[in-house]
Amino acid sequence: MAYGGTPSGPPAASGSSPAMKQVKLEKESELRIEVSFNSSLRLRLLNGTAEIFGTEMPPENWLIFPPRMKFAIFTWYGATIEMQDNTETDYVADETPMISYVNVHAVLEGRRNRAKASPSDSDASQGPRVIVVGPTDSGKSTLSRMLLSWAAKQGWKPTFVDLDIGQGSITLPGCIAASPIEMPIDPVEGIPLEMPLVYFFGHNTPTVNADLYRVLVKELAQILERQFAGNPESRAAGMVINTMGFIDGLGYDLLLHAIDTFQATVVLVLGQEKLCSMLKDVLKRKPNVDVVKLQKSGGVVSRNSKFRASARSQRIREYFYGLSNDLSPHSSIANFNDLSIYKVGGGPQAPASALPIGAQPVADPMRLVPVNINRDLLNLVLAVSFAKEQDQILSSNIAGFIWITDIDIPRKKITYLAPSGGELPSKFLLMGSLTWIET
């Protein structure tokens, strides 16, 4: 497990290091922590057993949590935690919904075992397809993480699908993505980034281009379907799909679209009766879909829009520089002619002259529009497509991202930062509204 901690030894002693304290946790209770805004937190499991969102804590290893992180240490049988006394908040809660969450895990486990036992039956060999829905800050990502980590601990390799373009946890904001989870998720480092399948939407709200969002969700689902067809192990393990907290109007339509497109068999609704009853009502026609209401944990922390924006910015920083500044991104220079930048949507469907008299040209949400390189591109984060030809761009997934740091108009040169040096995997780049300013 790649924790940011040291295998042994207390935090380095210095005149200014914070005092230490021990917290004793009774069985089935949790220690909820918000790390301070400007310093990290060291802690360790002194005795007993405990887990962080489904991943067991190693005994005695010091773990380091970055500033602003919010998490809980839960124990089923009792534990003692030794920690620095410098958090923003920390308190113990003995009322948690963990029993109901682990009961859901047990039901999913039974379904996975049944799927594994029928490899040659195309329907029965499909493990559970779980979709987690609910309003913002209801704990959807956290529950998804727990279900994935508990499954991985039992030896399954479930697929995590993240449809949350605002606060997704697989890659950068503005993307939908999927990744197999082969080990319990590291509480500090999060989802491993080795082989995610990523599609670039480019904005952190679907209202900008809901048609494009739907198309990308469909592409992702189709690719996963093909992968499952050739991989009975991951088919039996199933998927856990995390969604956006946008659940009204268009948000609700997009939830139904995702449930349908991924052929979800279990819908877990967190924290809202109304949404649960609406979904039960509309899904009662599908007898193989279970809609289950679950209690929101009292520990889930509400994040305002300022915090969300800074979390997005932090994710972009981590992509290029690593969680603890351990990566060395590469600055490169390209000629304007070497790159083809596009955005999706916006251009008129047909020229006004081709429309019937009186008709207004409408924006075509799926039109690929070439972007002229100018100073407006400064600080934009662009996605590098895997497309080899222009007509593949819309249906292609993403190899990675670059960040534009300089545009030299007279010399027609563009300077960008990429995670590594060398040629980009494709000259086709996609632009949305994702920007980053290094602070």
Q: Which residues bind ligand ATP (CB under 6 A)?
A: 32, 70-72, 134, 136-142, 164, 167, 245, 297, 299-301
Q: Hunting for tokens 């380091």 — which residue is that?
A: 64
Which residue has tokens 């962080």?
Answer: 52
Reported as type and span, the H/E element at residue 51 is strand 51-52
State how far the Cα of 29 lies from the Cα of 302, in Å rounded to an integer.
21
Annotated binding residue 274: no
Strand order in the sheet with 20-25: 20-25, 79-84, 41-48, 63-65
- From the CB of 75, what's the least distance to ligand ATP, in Å? 13
The response to whether 137 counts as a known ligand-binding position is yes
Q: Are 187 and 44 spatial neighbours (Cβ–Cβ below 8 Å)?
A: no
CA 250 to the chain's CA centroid? 21
- Counting every residue written for the chain, the total comes to 439
56 marked as binding residue: no
Q: How far is the CB of 423 from ligand ATP (least distance, A)?
A: 36
Residue closer to ligand ATP, measured from CB, 236 or 294: 294
Q: How many whole angstroms from its chain centre is CA 190?
A: 9
Are the C-beta atoms of residues 394 and 344 closer than 8 Å to each other? yes
Question: Rounded distance, CA 82 to CA 98, Å?
Answer: 23
Contact yes or no for 271/133 (Cβ under 8 A): no
User: Least distance in Å: CB of 351 to ligand ATP?
Assistant: 41
- To 10 degrees, what angle do helices 210-229 and 250-261 make? 20
| Smallest separation (angstroms) from ligand ATP to the CB of 301 | 4
Closest contact distance (angstroms) between CB of 415 and ligand ATP is 33
For ligand ATP, give the closer residue by CB, 210 or 223. 210
138 is in an annotated binding site: yes
Question: Judged by CB, which is closer to ligand ATP: 127, or 245?
Answer: 245
Q: 138 vs 397, which CB is nearer to ligand ATP?
A: 138
* Cβ 64 to ligand ATP shortest distance, Å: 16
Query: Is 30 marked within a binding site?
Result: yes
CA 145, CA 150: separation in Å to the nearest integer? 9
C-beta of 72 vs 404, nearer to ligand ATP: 72
**Terminal Cα-to-Cα distance of the chain (whole angstroms):** 30
CA distances from 127 to 54, 157, 240, 264, 291 (A): 20, 11, 11, 10, 16
* CB closer to ligand ATP out of 173 and 180: 173
Answer left, alpha or beta for residue 259, where phi above 0 means left and psi between -120 and 50 means alpha.
alpha
Instruction: Give CA angle at 292 (291, 296), nearest 5°.
Output: 135
CB of 49 to ligand ATP, least distance (A): 17
Q: Where are the alpha helices (DSSP H) in 286-400?
A: 305-321
Which is closer to ligand ATP, CB of 134 or CB of 238?
Answer: 134
198: three-class secondary structure by DSSP: strand
Q: Two tokens at 42? A: 């060291």
Cβ proximity to ligand ATP: between 11 and 166 the closer is 166
Does 142 show up as a binding residue in the annotation?
Answer: yes
How many Cβ atoms from other residues are within 10 Å of residue 110's Cβ? 11
Nearest residue to ligand ATP on Cβ basis: 299
Residue 315 CB, nearest distance to ligand ATP (Å)? Answer: 12
Shortest Cβ 398–ligand ATP spacing (Å): 21
C-alpha gyration radius of the chain: 23
Residue 297 or 426 with smaller CB distance to ligand ATP? 297
Contacts of 404 (CB under 8 A, 6+ apart): 377, 378, 379, 380, 381, 382, 414, 415, 416
Nearer to ligand ATP, 164 or 318 (CB): 164
Task: State yes or no: 70 annotated in a binding site.
Answer: yes
Shortest Å distance, C-beta 434 to ligand ATP? 17
Task: Tell me the two tokens of residue 73.
Answer: 């240490």
Binding site: what residues are annotated? 30, 70, 137-142
Binding site for ATP: what residues are annotated? 30, 70, 137-142
